[in-house]
């Protein structure tokens, strides 16, 4: 005849509770030891009684088992955190992909493409958006043109002011140097005349020197003026000293 099932609840009788605790504690520690031996497992059991008394069993040392347990808990927590992070990131990636697809579809619709799935109301809304965009583009273009025009006007005014300043400076320089235009032309003829007089004086001096040399050497003015060489002059003078007798025995002087 087998034992009946015991209701799992706190035993109210203190003596019965203490007896049951002792029996079941011994059985649990025995089963833990058998499990470690039979399955080559690392088993550790820690039991505290209701009075605070400690009972323990460890197949490989309680400290070693507890440190290993802490490492496993930390790694498992890190793995859980990493898994949650990856899951959130994948969810964010999916959301971004959907948003990109929606934006690409809107861009195609703004370009007038892929309009097959739109109804009349959506088409009217799209037309309104395009009109507003066109007005904004025109306003921006007009604004840029006005800015460029204003810049051109400012540059033109600066150029006029610079030209006026330069003109005033030129007028001031003309007032400071009024005789500059008269001095330069009068100086050039003076230099030319002075050079011409120097050349004439040098020519007269050279001509007098040549004449004196010719007179000293006995050259005639004709030779000098004709530019004949000296040997020709000498040959012409030599026959004047010689005399030739003709057939009649008269003597003639060669000219």
pLDDT tens, position by position, 22-63: 999 999 999 999 999 999 999 999 999 988 899 999 998 899
Q: What is the pLDDT of residues 193-211, one digit of tens each?
A: 545 454 445 554 445 544 5
| Residues shown for the chain | 255
- Whether residue 146 is predicted with pLDDT greater than 90 in this model: the reply is yes
Domain final residue, candidates 77, 92, 117: 117
- Domain membership of residue 19 as a residue range: 12-60
Domain final residue, candidates 80, 95, 117: 117
What's the rounded Cα separation, in Å, for the pair 253 and 243? 6
- The per-residue pLDDT for 2 is 56
Based on the domain organization, do 107 and 144 belong to the same domain?
A: no
pTM above 0.75, yes or no: no
Asked if the structure places residue 236 within a domain, the reply is no
Write down the mean pLDDT value for the chain.
75
Percent of the residues in the chain that have a pLDDT greater than 70, as a whole number: 68
Mean pLDDT on 58-79: 84
What's the rounded Cα separation, in Å, for the pair 215 and 160? 79
- The per-residue pLDDT for 110 is 81
Two tokens, residue 241: 């000293």
| Between 17 and 118, residue with greater pLDDT | 17
Q: What is the pLDDT of residues 104-145, one digit of tens each?
A: 888 888 888 878 778 888 888 888 888 888 899 999 999 999
Asked if the structure places residue 253 within a domain, the reply is no
CATH number of domain containing 36: 3.40.1810.10
Domain final residue, candidates 130, 162, 181: 181
Based on the domain organization, do 174 and 126 belong to the same domain?
A: yes
Asked if the structure places residue 133 within a domain, the reply is yes
The count of other CB atoms within 10 Å of the CB of residue 233 is 19
CB contact at 8 A, 206 and 216 = no
Based on the domain organization, do 140 and 177 belong to the same domain?
A: yes
Asked if the structure places residue 56 within a domain, the reply is yes
- Whether residue 251 is predicted with pLDDT greater than 50 in this model: the reply is no
Domain count, the chain: 3
Based on the domain organization, do 128 and 112 belong to the same domain?
A: no
């Amino acid at each position: 005849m087998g034992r009946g099932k015991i209701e799992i609840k706190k035993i109210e009788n203190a003596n019965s509770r203490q007896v049951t605790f002792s029996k079941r504690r011994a059985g649990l520690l025995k089963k833990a030891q058998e499990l470690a031996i039979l399955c080559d497992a690392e088993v550790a059991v820690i039991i505290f009684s209701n009075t605070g008394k400690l009972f323990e069993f460890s197949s490989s040392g309680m400290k070693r088992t507890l440190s290993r347990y802490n490492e496993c808990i930390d790694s498992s927590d890190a793995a859980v955190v990493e898994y949650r992070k990856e899951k959130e990131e994948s969810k964010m990636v999916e959301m971004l992909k959907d948003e990109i697809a929606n934006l690409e579809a809107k861009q195609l619709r703004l370009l007038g493409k892929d309009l097959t799935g739109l109804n009349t109301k959506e088409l009217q809304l799209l037309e309104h958006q395009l009109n507003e965009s066109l007005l904004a583009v025109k306003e921006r273009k007009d604004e840029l043109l006005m800015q460029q025009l204003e810049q051109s006007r400012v540059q033109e005014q600066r150029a006029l002011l610079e030209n006026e300043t330069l003109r005033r400076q030129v007028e001031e320089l003309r007032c400071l140097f009024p005789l500059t235009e008269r001095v330069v032309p009068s100086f050039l003829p003076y230099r030319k005349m002075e050079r011409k007089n120097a050349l004439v004086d040098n020519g007269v001096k050279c001509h007098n020197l040549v004449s004196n040399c010719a007179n000293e050497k006995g050259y005639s003015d004709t030779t000098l003026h004709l530019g004949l060489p000296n040997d020709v002059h000498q040959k012409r003078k030599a026959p004047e000293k010689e005399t030739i007798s003709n057939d009649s025995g008269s003597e003639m002087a060669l000219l």
